[in-house]
């Protein structure tokens, strides 16, 4: 089958879910696709399952779901009843779901009419770090072209990825199918970040990578000289700095009318 004849991966997910349905698992969908379309990237399949799952909190990190909307588009195919399990989405049984904007401007996922969302609390000590993480997760190619979030067989995605040695801020996969461990700091990168990323990189090597390459990227507003020295002899770790910009816009003032009332 030529590349032109192949469907998009989200369409493969739909085909698999309909063939395996009404209830199946993420792994079963992945294996069905790999059997029919054997050269499809495994991690891309895992990511597209999340994209198409109406109640998955991490679906907001993907371009198809980065605006508030009701879950009634071509990408709203699956519902997650439990970790690693999916079934064909039926609004009459599962309720109506939406991607909505929170008071702080961030996106969340919730059932229409409810006042809760299923996006877990990051527990980050500084809101700015969580915002930086979420921005980069949604715009992962800003870090490096071809990157996508890692998703494991248990439906855990690479945002705040839990390991035996701590939480990785972002775990991604590059275009060569290698792992990329991304560690974020909101200001000047402290010394201990070098030790953190080495610890996470070595954990990924031993528990996930098999024979795949593992790299690390430290992202901070300013990278200290101490951090640069700490990683100087490791070719698999690099650093990036970011800048923050604020844009201001005028807001029309309210004017007082002659009778004392306010008007625009």
Tens of pLDDT along 86-134? 999 999 889 999 999 988 888 999 998 755 444 444 333 345 677 888 8
DSSP annotation of 52: T
List the single range of 84-88, 107-111, 225-229, 259-263 with lowest mean pLDDT: 259-263
Q: Is the pLDDT of residue 263 over 60?
A: no
Tell me the C-alpha distance between 147 and 176, whole Å. 9
> Which one of 3.40.50.620, 3.40.1350.10, 3.90.1150.10, 3.40.50.1000 gives the CATH number of domain 127-241?
3.40.1350.10
Residues 21, 24, 29, 31, CA torsion sign: negative
Q: Is the pLDDT of residue 59 over 80?
A: yes
Q: What is the mean pLDDT of residues 225-242?
A: 92
Structure token pair of residue 208: 């996930």
Query: 173 pLDDT band (50/70/90 cuts)?
Result: very high
pTM strictly above 0.85: no
Question: Which residues, listed in sequence order, are joined to residue 164 by a DSSP beta bridge?
Answer: none
The answer for 52, left when phi > 0, alpha when psi is -120 to 50, beta otherwise, is alpha
Q: What is the mean pLDDT of residues 1-9?
A: 77
Structure token pair of residue 181: 């461990």
Tell me the C-alpha distance between 113 and 96, whole Å. 9
Domain parsing of the chain, residue ranges: 9-111, 127-241
Round the CA-based radius of gyration of the chain to a whole number and report it: 21
């Amino acid at each position: 089958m030529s590349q032109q004849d192949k469907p998009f991966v989200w369409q493969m997910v739909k085909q698999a879910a309909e063939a395996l349905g009404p209830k199946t698992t993420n792994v079963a969908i992945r294996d069905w696709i790999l059997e029919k379309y054997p050269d499809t990237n495994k991690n891309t399949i895992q990511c597209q399952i999340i994209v198409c799952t109406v109640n998955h909190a991490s679906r907001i990190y993907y371009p198809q779901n980065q605006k508030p909307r009701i879950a009634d588009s071509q990408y709203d195919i699956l519902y997650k009843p439990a970790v690693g399990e999916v079934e064909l989405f039926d609004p009459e049984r599962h309720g109506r779901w939406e991607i909505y904007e929170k008071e702080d401007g961030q996106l969340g996922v919730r059932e229409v009419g409810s006042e809760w969302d299923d996006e877990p609390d990051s527990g980050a000590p500084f809101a700015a770090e969580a915002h930086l993480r979420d921005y980069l997760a949604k715009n992962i190619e800003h870090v490096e072209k071809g990157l996508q979030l890692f998703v494991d067989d248990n439906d855990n995605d690479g945002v705040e990825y839990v390991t035996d040695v701590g939480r990785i801020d972002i775990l991604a996969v590059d275009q060569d199918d290698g792992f990329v461990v991304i560690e974020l700091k909101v200001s000047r990168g402290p010394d201990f970040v070098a030790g953190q990323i080495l610890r996470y990189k070595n954990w990924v090597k031993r528990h996930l990578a098999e024979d795949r390459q593992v790299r690390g990227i430290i992202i901070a507003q300013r990278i200290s000289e101490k951090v640069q020295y700490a990683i100087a002899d490791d070719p698999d770790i690099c650093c990036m700095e970011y800048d923050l910009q604020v844009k201001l816009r005028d807001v029309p003032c309210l004017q007082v009318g002659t009778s004392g009332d306010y008007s625009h």
